[in-house]
Structure 1
Amino acid sequence: MNTKFAFFILKLPMAMSMLGHGLVRLPKLNSFAEGMAEQFKDSMLPDFLVLPFGYLLQLVELVIGILLLTNWQTKNTIYAGLLTMALLIFGSSMIENWGAITAQLVHAIYFAVMFYFLTKNELATHPA
């Protein structure tokens, strides 16, 4: 099997998930961000951090999905995905949303698997 095609097939579900998360929230950009701020109002995280993150998250998810589909800057995109998941897991912990953390961990593990296969392939094609 073609390695590039196999890696694309591995990336496709995550690309669709991230793209879908971003696309579905774009029409309701304000309500999503304000809803997130409302969820975090009693947390240790200040509103001046949560509200901008709520706006930015939708765009970050959309861009990550597009970049995974187009195979541009894939390693950096995976880093961005892992960072996004780490921030989401931290935020969910701050409001004790343990159910959301499960889905976020699954995404993080999937990003880590993609990173493993990407770097394993790079090492195989570019030995030290």
Structure 2
Amino acid sequence: MNATVYFLLRLAIGASMFGHGLVRIPKLQAFSSWMAESFEKSLLPKTVVVPFSYALPIAELFIGLLLIAGLFTKTALVVAAIVMVILVFGTALIENWEALPSQLIHAAFFAFLLQFIVANTISLDSLIK
């Protein structure tokens, strides 16, 4: 795979994750309340949903930063994919089928980038090696 193509895809998905976290952190309480309310009738207890709702935007922000910088890229992609699996599961539990395609697209990007990690040459990871 072309290093430039890999770099641009990594930047795009990194910007998406970073943006998700960036806009949610200033309104963290409201985001958490919204998420807790969304899961009120699901199988997941509030004691699981609320801590996750506070951790998610922070994880999104840091994953996004790491991907944009190309730092610890493989680890960031694995963690991002795990976050997406959790989000897909939660989304299915509350039957929010409209949100599912976006989450699956993110998961596919992470898997694709992991598959071609050797092309990650335009990155801080490469500079550090």
TM-score by length of 1: 0.88
Aligned residues: 120
Partner Cα distance (2:5, 2:90) in 1? 33
Opposite residue 27 of structure 2, the aligned amino acid is K
Opposite residue 71 of structure 2, the aligned amino acid is W
Partner Cα distance (1:29, 1:103) in 2? 21
Opposite residue 112 of structure 1, the aligned amino acid is A
Unpaired runs of 5+ residues, structure 1, are: 123-128
Aligned residue number for residue 118 of structure 1: 117
Partner Cα distance (1:10, 1:91) in 2? 26
Partner Cα distance (2:59, 2:6) in 1? 22
Alignment root-mean-square deviation, CA: 1.6
Aligned residue number for residue 87 of structure 1: 86
Q: CA deviation at 1:6?
A: 3.5
Q: CA deviation at 1:118?
A: 0.5
Aligned residue number for residue 59 of structure 1: 58
Opposite residue 7 of structure 1, the aligned amino acid is Y
1:87-108, Cα deviation, whole Å (9 max, x unpaired):
0000001100111111100100
* 1:1-128 to 2 correspondences below 5 Å: 3=3, 5-119=4-118, 121=119
Give the 3-state SS of the residue equivalent to 2:99 in structure 1. Answer: helix
Partner Cα distance (1:65, 1:45) in 2? 27
Q: CA deviation at 1:2?
A: 6.7
Opposite residue 49 of structure 1, the aligned amino acid is V
Opposite residue 19 of structure 1, the aligned amino acid is F
Q: CA deviation at 1:7?
A: 2.2
The ranges of structure 1 where at least 4 consecutive aligned residues each deviate by more than 2 angstroms after the TM superposition are: none
1:18-57, Cα deviation, whole Å (9 max, x unpaired):
0000000111001101110010001000000000000000
Partner Cα distance (2:38, 2:109) in 1? 27
TM-score by length of 2: 0.88
Partner Cα distance (2:5, 2:20) in 1? 24
Unpaired runs of 5+ residues, structure 2, are: 121-129
Identity %: 44
